[in-house]
Amino acid sequence: MSSPISIAVIGGGPAGLMAAEVLAAAGQAVTVFDAKPSVGRKFLLAGKGGLNLTHSEPLEPFVGRFGARAAQIAPLLRGFDVDALRAWAAALGVDTFVGTSGRVFPKDLKAAPLLRAWLQRLRAAGVKFAMRHRWTGWTDDGALRFDTPDGERLVTPRATLLALGGASWPQLGSDGAWAPWLAARGVDVAPLQPANCGFDVGPTAAHAGGPGWSERFATEFAGQPVKPVALETAGFAARPGEFVITASGIEGSLVYAASAALREQIARDGSAKLHLDLLPQLTPERVLADVKHPRGSRSLSSHLKSRLHLSPLKLGLLHELLTREQMLDAPTLAAALKHLPLTLHAARPVAEAISTAGGVRFEALTDGLMLRALPGVFVAGEMLDWEAPTGGYLLTACFASGRAAAQGLLATL
């Protein structure tokens, strides 16, 4: 069966829904196709973490978060900036606030009310939704092919907008299966890689056969936060924050922030090295003086605990990462407390990551986000080749690119 559809938006995440909104507002007949039974599943998951919609910092530092892609992201954000995004949410009945870190959240910290109001408005504007439609590419004569519960459906729209997401959390719908299909059609696609991801450690002094922590350390500390702490690595200046110990490594906000630098080191050198400051509030001199302070009959652990208030987890990290000789040499131990080396062996798989690096390269696109190799096909959202840290940058770029691609599409009609 082949049905005429005016404009097909494939992928009902934030980018696809925003594109559908712009297209419907311009009077186009739009159908949003999605593989899942409902749209916006990853958006709803983001709501579990408070839904960090965007960031209040000025445009220049904001686009700087996109690193090598800042120049390509800047025009998208000029078309839909932080104020526009906040006004858009307010028009849906969702007021936002700026947190102490500058991050912007809905007042109720939830995604569901926003998504519900948005879908209602989209339906009222005439947007149709075709769920359980998994796009699988094109037929030889250019029709879109969908796997549906009723068998294959072919659709021949006037134009197509792809907003299929990256490859993280595939259980929510975006599985990156599109990457080889587009590449086979001559589209330049950078390999999909984990971004804002965790890492496996190893080898460690206590588990020289690594990777991973020693069983004793993992059993005792997996799931616990390391805080306060500062982390630095090549290409990432020392930054205070916190992260979490996992069964085989580390994850959490500070690790995500450093993840691009760490991933690149691993790709280049086979492993990455970072340094931790376990006592960021104390000077090296003070730490050395406390470590050297006579401890009488006390064990080294209780000495460090009482003089430096080291938590069991931070003590555990020292025992995991230093040899016995290093632990017993006061200057070496004091230096390690301020600059503890940790080797990372691999990034966790993209399926577990918060977001995806890589995707359709901007060089493969016109300014209106149309694929040069496939005229009439537009691309938006996380399937584009950009990456950014957490902080609201990801959703902002998805919304902004959804709008830009829809406007690019309208300009060609």
Ligand X SMILES: Cc1cc2nc3c(=O)[nH]c(=O)nc-3n(C[C@H](O)[C@H](O)[C@H](O)COP(=O)(O)OP(=O)(O)OC[C@H]3O[C@@H](n4cnc5c(N)ncnc54)[C@H](O)[C@@H]3O)c2cc1C
Instruction: Enumerate binding residues for ligand X (CB under 6 A).
Output: 10-16, 33-36, 39, 41-43, 45-46, 49, 51-52, 134-135, 163-165, 168-169, 173-174, 177-178, 354-355, 381-382, 392, 394-395, 398
Pick 146 or 217: Cβ nearer ligand X = 146
Alpha helices per DSSP H over 98-221: 112-124, 178-184, 215-221
Give yes or no for a contact between 380 and 12, defined as CB atoms under 8 angstroms apart: no
Give yes or no for a contact between 53 and 89, defined as CB atoms under 8 angstroms apart: yes
Q: How far is the CB of 395 from ligand X (least distance, A)?
A: 3
How do 151-162 and 2-10 pair as beta strands?
Answer: parallel
Give yes or no for a contact between 318 and 327, defined as CB atoms under 8 angstroms apart: yes
Q: How far is the CB of 87 from ligand X (least distance, A)?
A: 18
How do 30-33 and 2-10 pair as beta strands?
Answer: parallel
Pick 109 or 335: Cβ nearer ligand X = 109
Q: How far is the CB of 336 from ligand X (least distance, A)?
A: 33
Pick 160 or 204: Cβ nearer ligand X = 160
Q: How far is the CB of 265 from ligand X (least distance, A)?
A: 24
Pick 22 or 317: Cβ nearer ligand X = 22
**Alpha-carbon torsion, ordered 205, 206, 207, 209, to 10 deg:** 60
Pick 14 or 249: Cβ nearer ligand X = 14
For 294, phi and psi rounded to 5 degrees? -55, 135
Distance CA 390, CA 72 (A): 19
Q: How far is the CB of 126 from ligand X (least distance, A)?
A: 20
Q: How far is the CB of 4 from ligand X (least distance, A)?
A: 19
Q: How far is the CB of 373 from ligand X (least distance, A)?
A: 19
Pick 132 or 286: Cβ nearer ligand X = 132
Element (H, E) at 302: helix 300-308
Beta strands in 63-150, from DSSP E residues, in sequence order = 96-98, 103-106, 128-130, 134-138, 144-148
Pick 190 or 300: Cβ nearer ligand X = 190
Give yes or no for a contact between 353 and 326, defined as CB atoms under 8 angstroms apart: no
Here the tokens at position 158 are 């006037």
